[in-house]
Amino acid sequence: MSDSFSGQVRRAVLAVLLTAGCLVVGVDALAQKTQAENSGLSPEEQIVISVYKHASPGVVHITSTALAYDVFSNPVPQKGTGTGFVVDDRGYILTNNHVVEEADSLEVTLPDKSKVSAKLIGRDPSNDLAVIKISVPKEKLFPLKLGSSDTVQVGQMAIAIGNPFGLDRTVTRGVISSMGRTLRSESGRQIRGVIQTDAPINPGNSGGPLLNSRGEVVGINSAIYTPSGGSVGIGFAIPIDTAKRLLPQLIAKGRVSHPWLGVAGLDITPELVNALKLPVRQGIVVMQVSPKGPVDRAGIRGSTRKARVGNMLVNVGGDIIVAVDSRKMISIDDLTAFLDGERKVGDQVKIEILRDGRPLALSVRLGELPEK
């Protein structure tokens, strides 16, 4: 058989295979389209239904009980509810710190309505994350697939599953409204990279999963902005990449080690520059240093006096932090974000300061943020 003839045969066979493949794909697509048309559901509805069917078995209802006391010193149990979701077949459940904080006991309601006690494993108030654990047979656990918040795009579908006002495993749908928001945690530190969504979130949704159209968890629903107390279409979720990064620490030692300098500072503003005649227009005025903390041991100085700036009385006269490891620092939040994201406890950092207008560089070994 000649080369030209064998080439013609190969091309003919390839054409037949391609045609057959196109026919198979075409038939499959037609079958799916016909099924959707026959059910009367739109493609978007089909997606939400599919995600809910696959993900809702992994979503649990968390009830926390804390003991308060009445005027006669009698114990009065006070209950709160929230949401969590299973992350592996060992029984670990991810939720928000504020769902379990200060709870004397925890109870989890599974999709089959069975109730089991839960143990608090670890929590991180700085990122509003917590891990609890239940002991049940593996066949009762349905771990959810953790996606990546780094690939989330504004405008894509967002699906929330939770227990708003105690209504078990409610699903709501919306879109990703924005990325890269910041939230102030109860510890006072900023949570960065937060996802904003208009998927309705209400009290009780906290700790539940925010999912993409593939049913992957991309965030942990944590907070809403509301003037009324109910959902107005502005909800916030902790990025799942943050949770995945911190989960091993929470499980292994019950807390997260955050780098700490032991400094309280004031962001430099134009008003501050003009009022105090500061030598720089950006940086952090050191107001207080923690006694025997990292910066105190390095010799960084806090404020020496008070001054009035506008209608505020502020601590001034301390060193001015302008850079850390050659990274310019504009605000105390920039400093916290840099240390949390790029440095760890025990690292040595170079802090560039201005003292009485003169530049000075000091070496500081990062400590660990104390527990409150």
Which of 220, 238, 253 is the endpoint of a domain?
Answer: 253
Under a CB-based contact definition with an 8 Å cutoff, are residues 122 and 133 in contact?
A: no
So what's the pLDDT on residue 22? 46
Q: Which residue, among 115, 129, 135, has the nearest Cα to 60 in the 3D structure? A: 115
Residue 98 is a catalytic residue: yes
In the block, which residue shows the tokens 């979503």?
Answer: 59
pLDDT for residue 316:
84
Same domain, 241 and 181: yes
Q: Note down the domain range covering 205.
A: 149-253
From the list 177, 206, 222, 303, the catalytic residue is 206
Contact between 130 and 100 under an 8 Å Cβ cutoff? The reply is yes
What is d(CA 77, CA 170) in angstroms, rounded to the nearest whole number? 26
pLDDT confidence of residue 77? 65
Last residue of a domain, one of 140, 164, 179: 140
Query: What is the distance between the alpha carbons of residues 57 and 85, in angstroms, rounded to a whole number?
Result: 9
Q: Which pair of structure tokens corresponds to residue 84?
A: 């969590």
Question: Are residues 133 and 159 both part of a single domain?
Answer: no
Assess contact for 99 and 84: CB atoms under 8 A. yes
Q: Are 32 and 46 spatial neighbours (Cβ–Cβ below 8 Å)?
A: no
The domain boundary, picked from 253, 271, 288, lies at: 253
Domain holding 168: CATH number? 2.40.10.10
Q: Residue 12 has what pLDDT?
A: 46
Residues 61 and 94 in one domain: yes
pLDDT at 84: 97
Which of 56, 64, 98, 126 does the annotation list as catalytic?
Answer: 98
pLDDT score, position 76: 60
Q: Is 61 annotated as catalytic? A: no
188 shares a domain with 165: yes
Examine the domain organization and report whether 117 and 216 are in the same domain. no
Q: How far is CA 97 from CA 26, 117, 125, 230, in A?
A: 49, 17, 6, 21
Residue 193 DSSP SS3: strand
Residue ranges of the chain whose pLDDT lies below 70:
1-39, 67-78, 226-231, 372
**What is the domain count for the chain?**
3
Q: How crowded is residue 4: how many other Cβ atoms within 10 Å of its Cβ? A: 7
- pLDDT value for 36: 53
209 and 281 in a single domain? The answer is no
- The answer to whether residues 241 and 268 belong to one domain is no
pLDDT of residue 38: 54
272 shares its domain with 327:
yes
Instruction: Choose, from 61, 124, 126, 128, the residue flagged as catalytic.
Output: 128
Beta strands 75-86 and 59-69: pairing type?
antiparallel
Q: Specify if 9 maps to a domain.
A: no
The pLDDT value recorded for residue 2 is 45
351 phi and psi angles, rounded to 5 deg: -105, 125
Output phi, psi for 231, to 5 deg.
-70, 130
pLDDT for res 220: 97
